[in-house]
């Protein structure tokens, strides 16, 4: 379904953000999702180059184990490296015990967090064994207690990212769970309406985002299967949610921020004044190539040669699924022995016209 955004840009700008996030500081209704191995300083820096100059959004980290944060050097640990000028940082923690949570919240606040997000969606065995991540959704009273203990020790807002409990039929269960989190002090929630069993495959049930937003009076962020700026517009308009959060799709096309900014009447990104966001499959394919070269450089600067290569390979494995000959690009990056070799291989690969398709079936 196409969305008609005809009309003045000032009315379009009002899509999303019906309820204030970070006291109204957030004015752009799309953000990146927390993703282990991907949502790090290099990707955030790459993406900020595409953020409209007048936009403010929130930026997550990958999930951080609250048992480890208290003893870690946050200035040096790859997962918590940050640029000194980064704003809107909302690190995500995984945990369920008061002392590590308290210490983590304090350290992350000093580090520059503007809010703390609690992970209640991680379905991996390790999280289930420790009774955090999505396991918390099986115990509503304890999940609320985790929010309460986090909020009690926090001077900044606390949010929760959660999954669907089941189909729309079990919506009342979800609603009562979320109401418990709100009463315990959550400022907003982000719903990824795929069940734990679905992991990240299959389609996300946006109907649940719509129902949830309609049933509560605080901000709801919707997540799942936003692959293009058009999808982001559809999620915002169809569900009425306050923000759309995109993971794999936004990592693959960071310029989605620029496209959405254009659609909503925001200014151009700082370094793109006078230019138009890429839109066709060929333009997007070429932009992916430029982005990847910049990303390799940023990863090398922040992480050093070896870790940079691992990070880039993982990025390419996750995001090349939208590209024609994406497997071949993965091979190019796997074979390279240095970041310089990687850049040379990537440059050569994009000498051909590579197309980027708008949507693909998400499997990983």
Ligand X SMILES: Cc1cc2nc3c(=O)[nH]c(=O)nc-3n(C[C@H](O)[C@H](O)[C@H](O)COP(=O)(O)O)c2cc1C
In the window 89-118, what residues touch ligand X (CB under 6 A)? 92
- Does 247 help bind ligand X (rule: CB under 6 A)? yes
Shortest separation between residue 224's beta carbon and ligand X, angstroms: 5
Shortest separation between residue 148's beta carbon and ligand X, angstroms: 20
- The CA distance from 92 to 320, in Å, is 26
- 190 versus 350: smaller Cβ distance to ligand X: 190
The residues facing 59 across adjacent strands are 89
Shortest separation between residue 295's beta carbon and ligand X, angstroms: 15
Of 20, 37, 140, 240, the one binding ligand X by CB under 6 A: 37
- The CA distance from 204 to 225, in Å, is 6
Of 144, 174, 246, 342, the one binding ligand X by CB under 6 A: 246
- Does 224 help bind ligand X (rule: CB under 6 A)? yes
- Does 161 help bind ligand X (rule: CB under 6 A)? yes
Stretches 28-36, 148-156, 177-185, 234-242: which one binds ligand X (CB under 6 A)? 28-36
- 154 versus 318: smaller Cβ distance to ligand X: 318
Q: Which residue is nearest to ligand X (CB)?
A: 247
- Does 32 help bind ligand X (rule: CB under 6 A)? no
- Does 192 help bind ligand X (rule: CB under 6 A)? yes
CB 308 within 8 A of CB 300: yes
- The CA dihedral of 145, 147, 152, 158, to the nearest 10 degrees, is 180
Burial code (b: 16+ CB inside 10 Å, e: under 16) for 267-296 equals ebbeebeeeebbeebeebbbbbbebbebbb
- The CA distance from 273 to 275, in Å, is 6
Q: Which residues contact 98 (CB under 8 A, 6 or more apart)?
A: 149, 153
- The CA distance from 55 to 193, in Å, is 27
In the window 308-337, what residues touch ligand X (CB under 6 A)? 318
Instruction: Give the H/E segment covering residue 121.
Output: none
- Does 261 help bind ligand X (rule: CB under 6 A)? no
Label the pairing between strands 59-65 and 89-94.
parallel
- Does 225 help bind ligand X (rule: CB under 6 A)? yes
Nearest 5 degrees, angle CA 326-CA 201-CA 354?
Answer: 15
Of 17, 21, 38, 196, the one binding ligand X by CB under 6 A: 38
Tokens of residue 182, six digits: 């709100």
Count of beta carbons in the 10 Å neighbourhood of residue 65: 18
Of 15, 21, 31, 33, the one binding ligand X by CB under 6 A: 33
> If 0-12 CB within 10 Å is exposed, 13-18 middle and 19+ buried, where does residue 322 land?
buried
Shortest separation between residue 37's beta carbon and ligand X, angstroms: 6
- The CA distance from 1 to 18, in Å, is 23
Q: How many CA atoms lie within 13 A of 10 on its CB side?
A: 0
Q: Total binding residues for ligand X by CB under 6 A? A: 25
Shortest separation between residue 47's beta carbon and ligand X, angstroms: 14
In the window 200-219, what residues touch ligand X (CB under 6 A)? 200
Tokens of residue 339, six digits: 């970041």
- Does 284 help bind ligand X (rule: CB under 6 A)? no
- Does 57 help bind ligand X (rule: CB under 6 A)? no
- Does 243 help bind ligand X (rule: CB under 6 A)? no
- Does 62 help bind ligand X (rule: CB under 6 A)? yes
Contact positions vs ligand X (CB under 6 A) = 33-38, 62-63, 92, 119, 121-122, 161, 192, 200, 223-226, 246-249, 318, 362
């Amino acid at each position: 379904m196409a969305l008609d955004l005809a009309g003045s840009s000032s009315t379009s700008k009002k899509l999303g953000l019906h309820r204030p996030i970070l006291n109204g500081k957030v004015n752009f209704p799309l953000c990146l999702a927390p993703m282990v191995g991907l949502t790090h300083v290099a990707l955030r820096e790459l993406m900020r180059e595409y953020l409209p100059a007048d936009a403010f959004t929130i930026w997550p980290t990958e999930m951080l184990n609250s048992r480890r944060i208290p003893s870690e050097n946050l200035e040096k640990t790859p997962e918590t490296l940050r640029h000194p000028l980064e704003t809107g940082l909302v690190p995500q923690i995984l945990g369920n015990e008061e002392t590590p949570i308290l210490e983590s919240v304090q350290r992350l606040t000093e580090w520059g967090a503007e809010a703390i997000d609690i992970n209640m969606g991680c379905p991996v065995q390790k999280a289930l064994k420790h009774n955090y991540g999505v396991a918390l959704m099986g115990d509503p009273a304890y999940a609320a207690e985790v929010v309460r203990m986090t909020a009690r020790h926090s001077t900044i807002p606390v949010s929760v990212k959660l999954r669907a409990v089941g189909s729309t039929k079990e919506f009342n269960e979800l609603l009562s769970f979320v109401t418990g989190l709100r009463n315990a002090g959550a400022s907003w929630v982000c719903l990824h309406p795929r069940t734990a069993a679905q992991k990240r495959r299959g389609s996300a049930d946006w109907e649940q985002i719509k129902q949830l937003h309609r049933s509560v009076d605080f901000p709801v962020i919707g997540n799942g299967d936003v692959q293009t700026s058009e999808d982001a517009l559809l999620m915002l308009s169809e569900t009425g949610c306050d923000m759309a959060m995109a993971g794999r799709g936004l990592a693959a096309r960071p310029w989605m921020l620029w496209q959405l900014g254009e659609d909503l009447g925001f200014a151009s990104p700082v370094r793109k004044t006078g230019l138009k966001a890429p839109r066709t499959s060929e333009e997007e394919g070429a932009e992916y190539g430029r982005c990847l070269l910049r990303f390799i450089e940023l990863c090398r600067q922040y992480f050093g040669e070896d870790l940079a290569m691992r990070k880039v390979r993982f990025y390419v494995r996750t995001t090349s699924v939208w590209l024609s000959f994406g497997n071949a690009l993965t091979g190019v990056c796997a074979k390279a022995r240095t970041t310089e070799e990687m850049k040379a291989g990537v440059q050569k690969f994009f000498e051909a016209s590579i197309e980027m398709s708008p949507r693909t079936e998400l499997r990983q």
